[in-house]
Amino acid sequence: MGKLVAYRLAFAVPQLIIISIVVFSLTYLVPGSPAAAMLGTAATPESIAQVEAQLGLDRPPVERFVEWFGALLTGDLGTSFRSGTPVADMLVERVPATLSIVFGGMLVALLIGVGAGVFTGTRPGTPADRIVTGGTVLGLAIPEFWLGLILTTVFAVQLGWIPIIAWTPLTEDPLGWAVGIILPSIALGLTGGAIIARQTRAAMVTSMASPFTDTLTAAGVPRRVQVMRYGVKNSLVPVLASAGVTFAILIGVSFVVEKVFALPGLGTLMLSSVISQDFAVVQGVVMVTAVLVIAVNLLLDIGYGLINPQARPQ
Amino acid sequence: MSTSATVGAAAADSPAPRQARSAAQAWRRLTRQPATLFGLLVVVALVVCAVFAPLIAPYAPEATDFDAAMSGPTAAHPLGTDDLGRDLLSQLIFGARTALLVAGGSVLVAMLIGVPLGLLLGYKGGWYDRLGARGLDIADALPGLTVGFVVIAVLGRGILVLILAIGLIFCMNFARLTRAITLGERKKLYVESARVSGLTHRQVIFGQVLPNLAGPLAVQGAVFLGSAIKVEAALSFLGLGLGEDQPSWGGMLGVAAEHQADHPWMAIAPGVAIVLTVLAFNLLGDGINDALSGRRRTPYRRTRLMGRAVPQRGEQDPTLDSVPAQESASAADADTLLDVRDLRIVADKPDGSSVVLVDGVSLSVRRGEIMGLLGESGSGKSMLAKAILGLLPAGVRVDSGSVTLDGRTLTGCTENELRSVRGTGLGAVFQNPQANLSPVHTVGRQLVDVIRAHGTTSTKQARARAAELLELVGVDDVGRRLDQYPYQFSGGMAQRVAIAIALAGEPDLLILDEATSALDVTTQSQVLDLVLDLRERLDMGIINITHDLGVAAETCDRVAVLFRGDLLEVDEVHTLFDHPSHPYTAALLAAHPTADHDVDRLPTIPDDLVVDGALTGK
């Protein structure tokens, strides 16, 4: 197990360095001068020169990168051009809402996906399978933000079961927090659930038709045990193998879903920063997103090693 | 789209007519799937809307009618109007333009970047590939939508930026797919031979690799067109897509979100349009995939019941009179453990007809006896075993006849009734040692579950019994072995574990279905010795299914020879080997290679013995 962790860490470090180089070089990709873009119509040659100096664009890129990367390691991501606030502080404020709905969404996706996959995978070809599998095909086509819009309209606006703007930090009120993330998590998790359902169904069908199931059947093991213990665990292998990708997708989609639910997460911060071309904040959001994805992938790979013994390095 | 045009041209150039024929075949298959046809229909309707939007739409999308603002559905505005009084139906129709243009453009961009990149990595291999594959992995850490945000942050808003932003999200997927397929194709012999015959790299890539890529790319392209429409809608919804004046489904939803409290109906039409479009592209992708792979969505199910009631002998097909030796009913004496009577197994074909796999076989096994089932592949010996166990695969069933174990008729039993017999009455070991065990459970876990299925409730007792069983089948270091996974066992050891699992319920009859065929000769004889030893100690009846004459001769008391579903003869092993009564058996024995005499050619079953799959008498 220790070997697996070390091996994964050895991959994560260069991955982070390369991503930070890409993130750093973003400002150099802006056509013309990023300072001019940021200042917009108010730009004068003097103000542009001033902002360029503030951004460090008047110095050689390598020197600036070393400085930027060094600051990054100490948790300094620069300051927002628009608000003058340290980017790190803004991110710390925003991460909880994003993580709350992304983990909520993962949970919903796993519950729906594994549930539907086990249900359909154990009765392939039956009418029940066709209906549920058809439902997953439809689920894949539904845009998460639209589902969120429908959910708020029905449950918050029309029925009034849940406040329209419901975000409460976990540390303030755990129950209020849970209520606040229910609808965004459902909106976010449905598509992921449809993907996982398809994977689980395929793995379940294979598992139930495999020789080890015949061995267990012939030895008199009840079908319930075959399905719930052997079928489910074997089906979780491909699901866990791709859970890291699912998590990355959900983080991306959460940026859109946040807007529907007016959540104070990374997405709404990203959106306003993209519109105002506040590059330090955009860079900060991309960096923290990458770190989250890499960290979760690391954990998932270790979890995958636990469930699938052959994935552990020998 | 021009990517697939290139691919199509390359395919047409290639000399193999197989390509063209299979493409036509794929098209026929495609149009026979109702879901795919639905997808195709929606896409065609969408394209018509997009192209002829100015003719179809009742109003110009930007035409305002302030008197009718936020009107809701009326005769003049079937879907209502927005806050500026713009007709929502017209916006929806013009929105199809934006959706298709952006989605089509971005998939094109993704292919133009991804396919050459994947080709380069997959074709060059080596360091290119190792670095490139790592690069693709690293890119995984950036969620697609984040990439889209960044591109728009850097380059500003506009249709080309939007296309590039979405294209960049999907280009890695195309690169990955292309790389995987190119790697596979490159290894294939025909690319090797194409290189040797002097084709240039260019010719190999365009003539050989790309045609094979066309199908998977079409599938992926269709699915990503749907995904791109979702992304475009999301970005437009956030106000990062096209300008306010450009109608788009996402933008319409953005307006709808502002009015969700007072005019919730506004969100419905654009949402349904997106869902239908994405669904159509996904169904189209699935359809192309199925058509290319030739897969049919047929029910996949194990027949629950073991067939119909037993017909009387007299009712049977008169042509069966010529059927050779059947074991006479008198063989079923008091000692008889298993009695198979006139068992007929058929496989149902999709067209309603059926194929006979086992034709009226009768045989019996006594307690403590090892019965060999001998025959070549397809002789029906494994089907016979599966029928006894009630484990016939989907589409195969017992048509008539009976299986009786210890006086209890198994044919016609439900799954539940069979379960009480499995493990205690019957045990089975199948061919592939590793596949017989669940790869993600320890050997101990699997043994414990089997033991607990037979009444032991405490895990501790079950574990002790599991250790006993492993010792019984000759596994050393049991304490450690119990906590190991199947992949840590050699083939022979894994097969011993499978035997231990089969023995856990103390069965009266053990069926070995080619159980030693996959093992090397030394391991095979060790496992067979174990089986002989176990027979002595546990007084079981054993059916040993094999195509190996040596195995049958060494282990069996009696041997039954099967050929294409017919039982040719059953006899004591020595009688059968020394004086075979059926010419096929004699030919089979003669075909067994021995080291005793020098021969130029290995003997085979003579052709004149078998005509059109049937035996020609003497």
Given an 8 Å threshold on Cβ–Cβ distance, is B438 in contact with A275?
no
Question: Quick check: helix, strand or coil at residue B238?
Answer: coil
Mean per-residue pLDDT, B217-241: 90
Given an 8 Å threshold on Cβ–Cβ distance, is A273 in contact with B138?
no
pLDDT bin (cut points 50, 70, 90) of residue B154 is confident
Alpha carbons A57 and B153: distance in angstroms, whole number: 18
Task: Note the pLDDT tens digit of each residue in B581-605.
Answer: 787 787 777 777 665 556 666 667 6
Provide, rounded to the nearest whole percent, the portion of chain B with pLDDT above 70. 83
What's chain B's length in residues?
618
More confident residue, B555 or B71: B555
Given an 8 Å threshold on Cβ–Cβ distance, is A225 in contact with B256?
no
Mean per-residue pLDDT, B9-30: 52
Give start and end residues of each alpha helix (H) in B475-592. 478-481, 491-503, 521-538, 549-555, 573-578, 583-590
Answer left, alpha or beta for residue B412, where phi above 0 means left and psi between -120 and 50 means alpha. left
For A298, the closest chain B residue by CA position comes to B141
Given an 8 Å threshold on Cβ–Cβ distance, is A218 in contact with B422?
yes
| Nearest beta carbon to residue B432 from set A146, A211, A252 | A211
For B146, the closest chain A residue by CA position comes to A252
| Nearest beta carbon to residue B501 from set A18, A138, A215 | A215
Given an 8 Å threshold on Cβ–Cβ distance, is B253 in contact with A149?
yes
For the cut 70, the answer to whether the pLDDT of residue B195 exceeds it is: no
Instruction: Provide the β-strand partners of residue B570.
Output: B560
Given an 8 Å threshold on Cβ–Cβ distance, is A146 in contact with B233?
yes
Chain B residues close to A138, C-beta within 8 Å: 275, 279
Task: Note the pLDDT tens digit of each residue in A82-120.
Answer: 888 899 999 999 999 999 999 999 999 999 999 999 999
| Nearest beta carbon to residue B428 from set A143, A205, A218 | A218
Residue with tokens 């007084």: B539
Is any Cβ of chain A less than 8 angstroms from the Cβ of B439?
yes
More confident residue, B569 or B3: B569
* pLDDT of amino acid A197: 93
| Nearest beta carbon to residue A219 from set B261, B267, B422 | B422
For the cut 90, the answer to whether the pLDDT of residue B368 exceeds it is: no
For the cut 70, the answer to whether the pLDDT of residue A135 exceeds it is: yes
Question: Quick check: helix, strand or coil at residue B230?
Answer: helix
Q: What are the DSSP calls for A279-302, one per residue? A: HHHHHHHHHHHHHHHHHHHHHHHH
Answer yes or no: are the C-beta atoms of B509 and B541 closer than 8 Å. yes
B166: distance to nearest CA of chain A, Å? 13
B263: distance to nearest CA of chain A, Å? 10
A175: distance to nearest CA of chain B, Å? 26
For B269, the closest chain A residue by CA position comes to A146
What ipTM describes this predicted complex?
0.89
Q: Which of A250-259, B335-344, B375-384 has the lowest mean pLDDT?
A: B375-384
Query: What's the token pair of residue A227?
Result: 């399905």
Given an 8 Å threshold on Cβ–Cβ distance, is B301 in contact with A126?
yes
Answer yes or no: are the C-beta atoms of B67 and B47 closer than 8 Å. no
CA triple A45-A48-A51, angle to 5 deg: 150
* pLDDT of amino acid B122: 83
* pLDDT of amino acid A150: 92
Given an 8 Å threshold on Cβ–Cβ distance, is A270 in contact with B146?
yes
Given an 8 Å threshold on Cβ–Cβ distance, is A218 in contact with B391?
yes
Given an 8 Å threshold on Cβ–Cβ distance, is B422 in contact with A234?
no
Chain A residues close to B415, C-beta within 8 Å: 223
Range from A1-5, A193-197, B22-26 that averages highest in pLDDT: A193-197
CB burial class (10 A; 0-12, 13-18, 19+) of residue B407? exposed
Given an 8 Å threshold on Cβ–Cβ distance, is B485 in contact with A310?
yes
CA triple A45-A49-A52, angle to 5 deg: 135
B502: distance to nearest CA of chain A, Å? 5
pLDDT bin (cut points 50, 70, 90) of residue A266 is very high
Question: Quick check: helix, strand or coil at residue B483?
Answer: coil
Answer yes or no: are the C-beta atoms of B415 and A210 closer than 8 Å. no
pLDDT bin (cut points 50, 70, 90) of residue A2 is confident
Task: Note the pLDDT tens digit of each residue in B266-286.
Answer: 888 899 999 999 999 999 988
Mean per-residue pLDDT, B422-443: 88
Is any Cβ of chain A less than 8 angstroms from the Cβ of B125?
no
Check: pTM over 0.90? Answer yes or no.
no
For the cut 50, the answer to whether the pLDDT of residue B11 exceeds it is: no
Q: Buried b / exposed e across A192-227, counting CB within 10 Å, b at 16+?
A: bbbbbbbbbbbbbbebbebbbbbbbbbbbbebeebb
More confident residue, B22 or A86: A86
Given an 8 Å threshold on Cβ–Cβ distance, is A274 in contact with B152?
yes
* A-B Cβ pairs (cutoff 8 Å, strict): 236
* pLDDT of amino acid B594: 65
Mean per-residue pLDDT, A168-184: 86
For the cut 60, the answer to whether the pLDDT of residue B406 exceeds it is: yes
Alpha carbons B303 and A73: distance in angstroms, whole number: 63
Mean per-residue pLDDT, A229-244: 88
A22: distance to nearest CA of chain B, Å? 10
Query: What's the token pair of residue B511?
Result: 């069926």
